[in-house]
Amino acid sequence: MDDKEQRIRERAHEIWESEGRREGDDMAHWHRARQELGEPDVQEVNEQASRQFNEGDDKDGAATNMDITKARFGSPD
């Protein structure tokens, strides 16, 4: 486990304790700890990556949707 994950784990545990040690809120505590420590939310990162992919923001030469379709099925001409 890296230091970042350990800090998140410790903060989530602190949140759990401060909220009365209720069971069943572990994911909410984990997400809140990540957010408090400046970690991006997974859904936010996925949405950003999807937008970049769909907009063709491929600075590193990544394939576009059309490139992948052509590679799989051939050109429609």
pLDDT in tens, 7-62: 999 999 999 999 999 999 999 999 999 989 988 767 777 888 888 888 865 555 55
Query: What is the structure's pLDDT at 43?
Result: 73
pTM metric for this prediction: 0.53
Look at residue 25 in the predicted model and tell me its pLDDT: 93
Give residue 44's pLDDT.
75
Q: What is the 3-state secondary structure (H, E, C) of 15-65?
A: HHHHCCCCCCCHHHHHHHHHHHCCCCCHHHHHHHHHHHHHCCCCCCCCCCH
Q: Is the pLDDT of residue 65 over 70?
A: no
